[in-house]
Amino acid sequence: MKKSKQAELARRQLDETFRLAEAKGLAQRPTRGWIRAIRDALGMTSRQLAARMRISQPGVTKLERSELDATIGLASLQRAAEALDCSLVYALVPRSTLEETVRRRAHELAVDDLKGINQTMRLEDQTISDEQLATRVEEYASRLMTEGRLWDSVPRRPHA
In 27-92, where does DSSP find H-type helix? 34-42, 46-53, 57-68, 74-83
Phi-psi bin for 33: left (phi > 0), alpha (psi -120 to 50), beta? left
List all residues 6 or more positions away from 29 whose beta carbon is below 8 Å from its beta carbon: none
**Distance (Å, rounded) from C-alpha 37 to C-alpha 30?**
7
Domain residue spans in the chain?
Answer: 3-83, 98-147
| pLDDT at res. 91 | 81
Predicted local confidence at residue 22, as pLDDT? 74
Average confidence (pLDDT) per 10 residues, the chain, 160 residues: 80 86 74 94 96 97 97 97 93 86 90 72 61 83 83 62
Closest of 26, 29, 28 to residue 17, by C-alpha = 26
pLDDT at 94: 85
